[in-house]
Amino acid sequence: MLNLRFAKEYLQHRFKAKTRHGVHSPFVYRLIDKVIYDFTPKKVYTDVESLRNQLLNDERIITITDLGAGSLVNNNRKKKIGDIAKNALKPPKLAQLLYRLAADLQPANIIELGTCLGTTSVYLQNANPAAKVYTLEGCPETAAIAQETFVKAGVANMELIVGNFDNTLPGVIKRLEKLDFVFVDGNHQKDATLKYFEWCLPKVHENTMLIFDDIYWSEGMKEAWNEIKAHPQVTVTVDLFWIGLVFFKPGRVKGDFLVRV
């Protein structure tokens, strides 16, 4: 039933979504044309995908601590690292899109909720090596593998924070004067997602980008996404089905855009 619901949501999105040619906002048109639809190969893709391949072939088994909504694929606590890499890591197309979004924005700080095995974190750090990346993970054993990934990648400006997001995220937000780039990829429950969004609001500014993963994961996540879009501080949203982009642009006409990827 869940897969049927998800497939229906996807087909409806594909039917309604537009390419750049159907978008009348100059800001969103440029974002689609120069960033979302930039499919040129980049060296960083090869480097990070090499790390992914190592993880896919890792036979070690770890114990998962899941503090969120669980997995759509496998909820066993004991999992092979290779299986986690196959089922839980952001696929290359989406991880590389996140890289391009961060590279375009050039944020001074990046927060990632949900480190997993660390490949997306490495993409984000490479998008702006000068940026401080705070990556938060709830599972200690998963975080330990991510730390191995960071060592292999040679990333130097990464802070991995382990614990429940409810306990770790407020501290990170408090440390920062403003929030530039926040990627919420963890928990996947309506109330938690809205809570993280609301915690971010006091520190957002006109160039902040918030990204929410799996906005059609469940009815609850879809409801959370709709509430985020309707918030008075939010001026522009871009719904790419797999992720939702949120912007705060004073003076712009409020707009919600469905974009085909």
User: Cα–Cα distance between 237 and 256 in angstroms, integer?
Assistant: 5
pLDDT for 70 equals 45
- Can you read off the two tokens belonging to residue 30? 């440029």
pTM over 0.75: yes
Residue-wise pLDDT for 8-27, tens only, equals: 999 999 989 988 888 889 99
Banded model confidence at residue 92, pLDDT cuts 50, 70, 90: very high
Q: Note the pLDDT tens digit of each residue in 144-162.
A: 999 999 999 999 999 999 9
Per-residue confidence (pLDDT) for residue 159, from 0 to 100: 98
Rounded average pLDDT over 94-122: 98
The predicted-structure confidence for 167-226, as pLDDT tens digits, reads as follows: 999 999 999 999 999 999 988 999 999 999 999 999 999 999 999 999 999 999 999 999
Q: What pLDDT does residue 187 have?
A: 86
Find the range with the poorest average confidence among 39-53, 74-88, 178-192. 74-88
Q: Cβ(189)–Cβ(68) under 8 Å? A: yes
- The size of the chain, in residues, is 261
Give me 177's structure tokens. Answer: 């004067």
* Across 113-124, average pLDDT: 98
- With cut-offs at 50, 70 and 90, classify the pLDDT of residue 251: confident
**Looking at per-residue confidence, does 6 or 199 come out higher?**
199
Check pLDDT > 80 for residue 74: no
